[in-house]
Structure 1
Amino acid sequence: MIKAIIIDDETAMQEVNSQLLSEYFPSIKLVGTANCIKSGIDLIQKENPDLVLLDIELTDGSGFQLLQKLPSYDFKVVFITAFDSYAIKAIKFSAIDYILKPVNEIEFKEAIQRALDLIESKEHTESQFNILMNSFKKELQNKKLVLRTQNSMHIVDISEIHFCKSDNSYTTFYFKDGEKILVSKSLKDYESLLKEYGFFRPHQSYLVNLNHIKKVDKTDHGFIIMKNKKEIPISTRQKKNLIDLLDRL
């Protein structure tokens, strides 16, 4: 019996994939589901699955980051994702299967069958995953963001953004060289865009790059000290989330 697990932060998607597995692949036994990196790793270590259906965008990071946190693994992976050009590009470079949301039954069956064929042939896919991770890391390192102001179009390296500050429907970007760029988009627009690149929203008015945090004050009215010595407030609601996130880095 082939053991499978599903890691997806959407309960509805867990149910859809579970149903499709049961309907088309009776030889596969679903032994558990998880909805984030931490619970996913715990489930993998507990069940030692043969197949993992892994969502790319999880509540506490990405499916790629989950794989990076594992010391080693020999299960086969089928990624599940909404359309995300850079993630799919990384997957395509490595020739690893993926399923697009919303799930198409034919594509689902084809992807799972290819994974089963690899499991049954005991074919090693270590080199594929090395290519996947190298491509993923390269995309993150070189990722650019276009910021449009009234008079200019700025092309910036995401890694050089220290933090963003909200001012109603405007957002100011602060960089490590002291430069500031004001754009006429809300912070919420950039939160969803930058979450995948190590950014966290500790306060309704701020979005910070975790790679540029120097210190976190955990007292009642705590705050973040950035490497450029700027102080960023932390809301009471987000303080524990930030500490937990930093503990997992």
Structure 2
Amino acid sequence: MIIKAVIIDDEPANQEINARLLSESFPEIQLVGTANSIQSAIDLVKTQKPDLVLLDIELTDGTGFQLLQQLQPYTFKVVFITGFDSFAIKAIKFSALDYILKPVNETEFQQAIKRAVTAIQENEDSQPQVDILMDSFKHEMQTKKLVLRTSESLHVVDVKDICFCKSDNSYTTFHLEGNEEILVSKSLKDYESLLSEYGFYRAHQSFLVNLNHIKKVDKTDGGFIIMKDKREIPVSLRQMKKLVELLEML
């Protein structure tokens, strides 16, 4: 039985790695195409009708969850590929669907694909899992907003758009997506407990970081975080161990 697969990932290097691992370990799987965005993925899936989709969570024009919403109902099996994203992994775990963490580990990749192949061969119904995943996604995407008061205005921001907060004595600067910055006359401590339940972590005395915006944690030179927008955030020695443990538990 030939299984048709597609890879949906916005990073060409990841597409190549996953394609190589598929060809080396799964001769019964035929790679019939790749895509890097929601729109190109929709076109690819509708044209090729794959049995298996390797799906990155973060795409150029949205998320893998948004893609699946637009493709429902579907019958293909999905294996998610994701970096550090507390909500995404939590939602996937709730649904018991498979995922692979970046950077891709060959053994974990093989195990996840083997489970997907078995499910395809046995014609397993994954709709209940998909329903739970979508419920989790909808619940989490109910936008949580925060009002930031500056000397001149009131700013209403989506919590998910906050990349990190930086302390400057009794002031805090909010760094948002798109390089927007908002300075408020409150201390970082005032926001720490408020934002902690939404995936924020005090990585350093001066920084409160949104875990969903972390791309990489580098343990060299005392340790620092690389955000998805390439900005670097220091991590205190005391907080590094806790941060790594927290990310591993996601």
Same fold (TM over 0.5): yes
Verify: 1:7 aligned to 2:8, yes or no.
yes
Q: Structure 2-normalised TM-score?
A: 0.61
The letter for the 2-side match of 1:22 is S
Mapped to 1, the partners of 2:175 and 2:145 lie a distance apart of 19
Structure 2 residue aligned with 1:171: 181
**Conserved 8 A contact 1:80-1:101:** yes
Seen in structure 2, the aligned counterparts of structure 1 residues 17 and 160 have a Cα distance that, compared at 3 Å, is closer
SS for the counterpart of 2:141 is: helix
CA RMSD of aligned residues (A): 3.5
Percent identity at matched positions? 62
Seen in structure 2, the aligned counterparts of structure 1 residues 128 and 160 have a Cα distance that, compared at 3 Å, is same
Structure 1 residue aligned with 2:47: 46
Structure 2 residue aligned with 1:114: 115
Mapped to 2, the partners of 1:171 and 1:184 lie a distance apart of 16
The size of the alignment, in residue pairs, is 173
Structure 2 residue aligned with 1:55: 56
The CA deviation string for residues 113-166 of structure 1, in whole angstroms up to 9 with x for no partner, is: 0000100110100010000010111112165669799xxxxxx864999xx999
**Conserved 8 A contact 1:10-1:35:** yes
Structure 1 residue aligned with 2:125: 124
Mapped to 1, the partners of 2:52 and 2:187 lie a distance apart of 45
SS for the counterpart of 2:4 is: strand
Seen in structure 2, the aligned counterparts of structure 1 residues 118 and 158 have a Cα distance that, compared at 3 Å, is same
Seen in structure 2, the aligned counterparts of structure 1 residues 16 and 146 have a Cα distance that, compared at 3 Å, is farther
SS for the counterpart of 2:142 is: helix
Structure 2 residue aligned with 1:90: 91
- Give the number of the structure with larger relative contact order, counting CA–CA contacts within 8 Å between residues 6 or more apart: 2
Structure 2 residues without counterparts, runs of 5 or longer: 151-156, 163-173, 189-208, 214-250
Verify: 1:73 aligned to 2:74, yes or no.
yes
The CA deviation string for residues 24-73 of structure 1, in whole angstroms up to 9 with x for no partner, is: 00000000000000000000000000000000000100000000011421
Mapped to 1, the partners of 2:149 and 2:110 lie a distance apart of 43
Mapped to 1, the partners of 2:6 and 2:85 lie a distance apart of 23
Seen in structure 2, the aligned counterparts of structure 1 residues 148 and 40 have a Cα distance that, compared at 3 Å, is same
SS for the counterpart of 1:92 is: helix
Mapped to 2, the partners of 1:110 and 1:143 lie a distance apart of 36
Mapped to 1, the partners of 2:28 and 2:181 lie a distance apart of 52
The letter for the 2-side match of 1:58 is L
The CA deviation string for residues 176-199 of structure 1, in whole angstroms up to 9 with x for no partner, is: xxxxx57899xxx99x95xxxxxx
Structure 2 residue aligned with 1:137: 138
**Conserved 8 A contact 1:8-1:35:** yes
SS for the counterpart of 2:182 is: strand
Structure 1 residues without counterparts, runs of 5 or longer: 150-155, 174-180, 194-249
Q: Structure 1-normalised TM-score?
A: 0.61
Seen in structure 2, the aligned counterparts of structure 1 residues 23 and 90 have a Cα distance that, compared at 3 Å, is same
Seen in structure 2, the aligned counterparts of structure 1 residues 22 and 127 have a Cα distance that, compared at 3 Å, is same
Mapped to 2, the partners of 1:14 and 1:159 lie a distance apart of 27
